[in-house]
A and B are shown apart, each in its own frame.
Chain A
Amino acid sequence: MHEISIVRNVFQTLEQTYPEKFDRIVKVQVQAGLLSNVQPILIQNAFEALIQEEPSLSDVELEVLLLPIIAHCDACDKDFEVKKHRFICVCGLPSKKIIQGEELQISEVQFSGQ
């Protein structure tokens, strides 16, 4: 999708959230649900491009974790993984109660201990 702006957004968000500790960040994990249309390799490439502009980020490791789509079946009261975008439980009933898969968020930040 819009990997460059997503990566910029990651670091803007971190700067706002951790103004004191921002320069001690060593690793950032981003979770992207399969419905977010985000490609991890493109995020990594965009990050490399951002480092050209902001060399201070060159020591930061960025990890993108893809999350599968999980929906909930009310009839079975169970969660099921949505494969090939078939929002249908093993019991045959459809469900669009999405439990996971739409995320685009920073899920973990690691800081060096000085």
Chain B
Amino acid sequence: MARYLIARLGQALIVIVLVTVIAFVILHLLPGGAARATLGKEATLAQLAAFNHEMGYDRPLIQQYGMYVQRLLQGDLGYSYQLNQSVLEAIEQRLPKTMLLSLLSTLVAVVLAIPLGVLQAIRRNRWPDYAITALSLLAYATPIFFLGLMMIIVFSQVWPILPPEAPQGFTVAELLADPAGLVLPTATLAIVTIAVYARYVRSSMIDNLNENYVRTARSKGLSERRVVLRHTLRNGLFPVITLLGMYLPALFSGALVVESLFNFPGMGQLFWQAALKRDFPILLGVTVIISIATVVGALVADLLYAAVDPRVRLRGSAT
């Protein structure tokens, strides 16, 4: 088990290095440059050159990358002149809030998607299945910004029961103090996720319900309820675990839109504003954090998988 973990962490490190290289190269190929964005239109060429020199932007790319990695290893993600704070600090302020949003929406999605998917599987090709499938496809096909706008229009304009804007608290605790403000952003993110998860649960449950062991369970005279809940559900949820690990970081891209839309002070908004202002240190820092989250998410999913599936458990301890 320990050897497995070490190997996986080694792979994770490689992935993270590759991600930073790619992000680094792409960001520095962008036209315009950070100096103009930071110093504004009025800055002279000399001022720009001085800024670039001070930041090391005039050195060869490889050297810049080397310096970046060196600082990164010391826990220094850089300094944002536009925010006038260190990248780490900026992320530290916002990451918990985005995590709150992601976890809340994932929780809502999973809690709703599993029963929906199971219902679809046991009523396969009958009206509940068709209805949920149609709604899922609709939710899945709707662009998230449009969905968010519709939510705002419906629930805070036409029928004003919820605030259109997220709470502007500085900490997670402050956000939680105003739960009504969290409803719309969470719901918007969750709706798309529900659609994805429900499809997975449905197809996985259908596969498992066709397995021979389910027939064996029925031959024991078990009620349909027990056949589904005790025998099939656990095996049917395995793919969802993998999906969870993969999808949790992917929620970030949704959060990007949702956070801007609802003015939610999280990582998405940070990244969005940094992109507009070409705030390279922030963009790089966020990319690194997301890639770490992705790798860790996949690892956690695998470990979770091994914890619930005895067949995997055995293989892990075979060495």
Partners in one complex: no
User: Which residues of B are at the interface with A, using a C-beta cutoff of 8 A?
Assistant: none
